[in-house]
Amino acid sequence: MPTNYTISTYHKLGLIDELDLSKVPNFSQKTENPRFTKEGRIDGKTYAVPKNWGTTGFATNTSKLKAKLTSWKDFFEIVQTEADGRGMVHDYQLTTIGSALVSLGYGFNSIKPEELAKAEELLIKVKPHLFAINSDYQPAMRATDAWLTMCWTNDGAQLNRDMPEISYTLGKDGGEIWTDYYAIPKDAPNKAAGYALLNYLMDPNNAVKEHLANGAPTTDSRVIALLPKEITSNKIVYPDEASLTPLEFGAAVTLTDPGRAELMARFKSA
């Protein structure tokens, strides 16, 4: 299940095969939103088909925190003040460094050393105030150990569904938008079963069940048509187009850049 920014690397390393779409008749290119499918195609060939898309924002327990947060700048400020000891960042360099960069007015995908140095300075200043550096933030948010965390759409939707006091916010200063895909590894031992599963998952009647359980939005308009009104009108799952405008897709180099990996290690060991 590769995310958008890994597909070109997997292709370059020869880890995934071109998909034989004749074996996935339930997949329909026409009803897919091209914004979320283009990174599955390389040189006109389809290597991956989308599972769902989403964003990286933050979840706030509004019964614990009074501050109204609207940006990553707010996030990194409140984490050091009102949410001291109660904030979480991902154990994932792409989103943690990316969001820190955004809060400073830089691009999510920056690999410029001077911008990364500023992000590092911020993260190291914030670290003593954090509750945890962990991408498994749902347990801590549900137990109210943490009051504020970096958060992906699907987790935000699940948390808000069960605890309405937990809100989900997209940074108005930027952040990440992503698509998760399905791909088949080149040396998969049972490709026929892989295609059968893929075709099953691409059937809108099955995809809608996955959507309802997981919470992340779909890329396929056939699935949207099957969704109940309360999901399609849920602003966590389907935010206004305007709030998506400042968001950026992660880039392949952002993930593989050794400078960012070392920055993350220095942050975690500081």
By CB under 8 A, tell whether 85 contacts another protein. Answer: yes
By CB under 8 A, tell whether 63 contacts another protein. Answer: no
Residue window 130-159: x/- pattern of binding to another protein, with contact defined by CB under 8 A: xxxxx----xx--xxx--------------
By CB under 8 A, tell whether 214 contacts another protein. Answer: no
Contact 94, 3 (CB under 8 A): no
Binders of another protein among residues 100 to 129 (CB under 8 A) are 127
User: How many residues make contact with another protein (CB under 8 A)?
Assistant: 30
Note the Cα 249 to chain centre separation in Å.
9
In angstroms, the CA 17 to CA 45 distance is 10
User: Please, which residue, 151 or 231, has the CB nearer to another protein?
Assistant: 151
Tokens of 223: 């699935």
Among 34, 44, 189, 258, binds another protein (CB under 8 A): 258
The CB-of-261 to another protein minimum distance in angstroms stands at 3
In angstroms, the CA 209 to CA 175 distance is 28
For residue 18, the 8-state DSSP code is: P
User: Please, which residue, 93 or 219, has the CB nearer to another protein?
Assistant: 93
Quickly list DSSP for 213-237: HH-PPPSBHHHHHHS-HHHHT-TTT
By CB under 8 A, tell whether 91 contacts another protein. Answer: yes
In angstroms, the CA 270 to CA 266 distance is 6
In angstroms, the CA 141 to CA 143 distance is 6
By CB under 8 A, tell whether 238 contacts another protein. Answer: no
Which positions touch another protein (CB under 8 A)?
9, 12-13, 85-86, 88, 91-93, 127, 130-134, 139-140, 143-145, 256, 258, 261-262, 264-266, 268-270
